């Protein structure tokens, strides 16, 4: 059979992730890796999971293994509502749903909102998984400039108007205001307020993705856009993958009832429901206050590693190289001098024994950000971080 001919337009446009292609290159013994987009397993509360799993199975027996409602296990939905309320976000039951990781939330949002050719405004750079979901829905992705304070609000107005003038429908603005993957940037309170003003002015839906909000080093981040918003125009996504563990595949969406009703139907078609067992584990973690315990535990862990990376960068990097200074999350964003190509550099870096992710796939537009890269401090210990930065500097200098 000629399977190629059977493919949908969406499938034809699908590209194998550039990052995934590179993982074959960078998985080599002895390499110091700043590449993976993953929390450190050293932060996972394994002993707690062990105890909680044991108890869930003992108490609920077979009930823990049955199908659950599409929106998720009801007691967890209520506990999540409390958790969000403590971040200043109230919600009615009809305004919330659990998803299998935030990625599923992003995918469902794309399917419910995007027709081919519709515009999604994204930060430059933006989270590559979100770009994949928007691309699968055949969105037209348009970048808005990002600086260390947050979104460039004049550029937001400009890009919006250009889209509108070109006759395109702008469906929403997608932002990761806290410790963004890949840049590590956090929007200031002032920029958040400004963003909401512009969104009000342009009558723009805002999709706020917040997987890293609990992973701060010293102070919590400024309030979420959803907690600051008075218009009900913010759809908020968050996840327990970074503060608890990814294998729980538990995340949530809070948003306007009209959209949540559609997201529920879309989720039913996408996977019927999540895992009642995982939901019970996350519920126990919330009830026992384990999220707060995890915040305390994770804070010095990532703070020290990030500091080691920033200090090493300051010591080792040649003139003309710049980087962000995150106050939370897992990532530092590095910019080579204009004209350098981080993808071309990767081979030399791997030969030196260090790996990273070139920045270009994090931009909505092709051939953008060629001189950028994402570094994570999550995986390696402090001596390796220092050695890795030395190796990276050598590769850049060569």
Question: Measured between alpha carbons, how far is residue 202 from residues 87, 192, 260, 304, 357 in Å?
Answer: 26, 15, 22, 41, 35
Return the number of the residue (9 or 319) whose C-beta is nearest its own copies: 9
Return the number of the residue (252 or 323) whose C-beta is nearest its own copies: 252
Is 3 a binding residue for its own copies by CB under 8 A? The answer is yes
Whose tokens are 């981080």? That residue is: 342
Return the number of the residue (10 or 322) whose C-beta is nearest its own copies: 10
Which residue among 25, 166, 189, 272 contacts its own copies (CB under 8 A)?
272
Question: Measured between alpha carbons, how far is residue 121 from residues 72, 140, 294 in Å?
Answer: 30, 9, 33
Is 171 a binding residue for its own copies by CB under 8 A? The answer is yes
Least distance in angstroms from the C-beta of 91 to its own copies? 16
Rounded to whole angstroms, the Cα distance separating 187 from 257 reads: 27
Letters for 137-166 (x = contact with its own copies by CB under 8 A, - = none) are x-----------------------------
Is 67 a binding residue for its own copies by CB under 8 A? The answer is yes
Applying CB under 8 A, the span of 74-82, 254-262, 300-308, 382-390 interacting with its own copies comes to: 254-262
Nearest to 285 by CA among 80, 85, 98: 80
Is 239 a binding residue for its own copies by CB under 8 A? The answer is no
Is 217 a binding residue for its own copies by CB under 8 A? The answer is no
Lay out the sheet containing 331-335: strands in order across: 322-323, 331-335, 372-376, 357-358
Return the number of the residue (109 or 346) whose C-beta is nearest its own copies: 109
Applying CB under 8 A, the span of 64-72, 77-85, 289-297, 312-320 interacting with its own copies comes to: 64-72
Least distance in angstroms from the C-beta of 294 to its own copies? 13
Residues 24-53 that bind its own copies (CB under 8 A): 38, 41-42, 44, 46, 49-50, 53
Return the number of the residue (193 or 270) whose C-beta is nearest its own copies: 270
Q: How many CA atoms within 13 Å lie on the side-chain side of 35?
A: 25
Nearest to 38 by CA among 304, 350, 377: 377
**Cα 226 to the center of its chain, rounded Å:** 17
Least distance in angstroms from the C-beta of 302 to its own copies? 16
**Cα 327 to the center of its chain, rounded Å:** 16
Least distance in angstroms from the C-beta of 57 to its own copies? 5
CB neighbourhood size of 309 (10 A):
25
Which residue among 24, 29, 30, 62 contacts its own copies (CB under 8 A)?
62
Residues 123-142 that bind its own copies (CB under 8 A): 129, 132-133, 135-137
Rounded to whole angstroms, the Cα distance separating 332 from 159 reads: 27
Applying CB under 8 A, the span of 3-11, 153-161, 297-305, 367-375 interacting with its own copies comes to: 3-11
Least distance in angstroms from the C-beta of 373 to its own copies? 21
Return the number of the residue (21 or 158) whose C-beta is nearest its own copies: 21
Crossing angle (nearest 10°) for helices 18-26 and 342-352: 20
Which residue among 113, 198, 308, 332 contacts its own copies (CB under 8 A)?
113
Rounded to whole angstroms, the Cα distance separating 192 from 206 reads: 11
Which H or E element spans position 263?
helix 257-271
Strands 150-151 and 140-147: antiparallel
Rounded to whole angstroms, the Cα distance separating 322 from 175 reads: 23
Least distance in angstroms from the C-beta of 269 to its own copies? 4
Return the number of the residue (41 or 220) whose C-beta is nearest its own copies: 41
Return the number of the residue (42 or 90) whose C-beta is nearest its own copies: 42
Nearest to 207 by CA among 219, 217, 199: 199
Rounded to whole angstroms, the Cα distance separating 390 from 8 reads: 47
Rounded to whole angstroms, the Cα distance separating 149 from 45 reads: 33
Least distance in angstroms from the C-beta of 46 to its own copies? 5
Which residue among 21, 25, 27, 66 contacts its own copies (CB under 8 A)?
66
Rounded to whole angstroms, the Cα distance separating 49 from 39 reads: 17
Which residue among 202, 266, 291, 348 contacts its own copies (CB under 8 A)?
266
């Amino acid at each position: 059979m000629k399977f190629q001919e059977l493919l949908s337009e969406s499938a034809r446009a699908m590209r194998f992730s550039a990052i995934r292609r590179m993982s074959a290159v960078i998985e080599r013994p002895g390499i110091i890796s700043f590449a993976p987009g993953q929390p450190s397993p050293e932060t996972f509360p394994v002993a707690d999971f062990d105890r909680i799993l044991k108890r869930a199975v003992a108490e609920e027996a077979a009930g823990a293994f049955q199908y659950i409602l599409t929106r998720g296990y009801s007691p967890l939905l209520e506990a999540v509502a409390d958790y969000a309320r403590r971040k200043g976000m109230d919600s009615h039951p009809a305004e919330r749903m659990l998803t299998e990781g935030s990625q599923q939330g992003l995918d469902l949002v794309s399917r419910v909102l995007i027709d081919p050719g519709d515009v999604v405004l994204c930060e430059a750079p933006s989270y590559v998984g979100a770009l994949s979901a928007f691309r699968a829905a055949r969105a037209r992705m348009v970048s808005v400039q990002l600086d260390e304070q947050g979104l460039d609000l004049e550029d937001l107005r400009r890009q919006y108007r250009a889209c509108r003038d070109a006759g395109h429908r702008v469906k929403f603005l997608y932002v990761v205001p806290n410790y963004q993957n890949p840049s590590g940037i956090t929007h200031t309170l002032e920029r958040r307020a400004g963003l909401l003003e512009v969104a009000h002015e342009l009558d723009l839906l805002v999709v706020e993705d917040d997987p890293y909000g609990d992973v701060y080093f010293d102070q919590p981040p400024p309030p979420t856009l959803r907690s600051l918003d008075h218009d009900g125009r913010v759809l908020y996504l968050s996840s327990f993958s970074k503060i608890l563990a990814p294998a729980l595949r538990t995340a949530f969406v809070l948003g306007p009832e009209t959209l949540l009703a559609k997201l529920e139907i879309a989720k039913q078609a996408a996977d019927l429901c999540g895992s009642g067992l995982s939901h019970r584990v996350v519920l126990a973690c919330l009830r026992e206050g384990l999220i707060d315990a995890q915040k305390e535990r994770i804070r010095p862990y990532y703070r020290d590693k990030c500091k080691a990376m920033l200090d090493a960068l300051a010591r080792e990097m040649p003139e003309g190289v710049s980087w962000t200074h995150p106050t939370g999350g897992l990532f530092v964003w590095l910019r080579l001098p204009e004209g350098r190509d981080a993808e071309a550099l990767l081979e030399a870096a791997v030969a030196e024994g260090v790996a990273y992710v070139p920045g270009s796939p994090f931009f909505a537009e092709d051939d953008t950000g060629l001189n950028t890269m994402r570094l994570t401090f999550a995986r390696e210990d402090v001596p390796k971080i220092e050695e890795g930065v030395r190796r990276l500097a050598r590769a850049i200098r060569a």
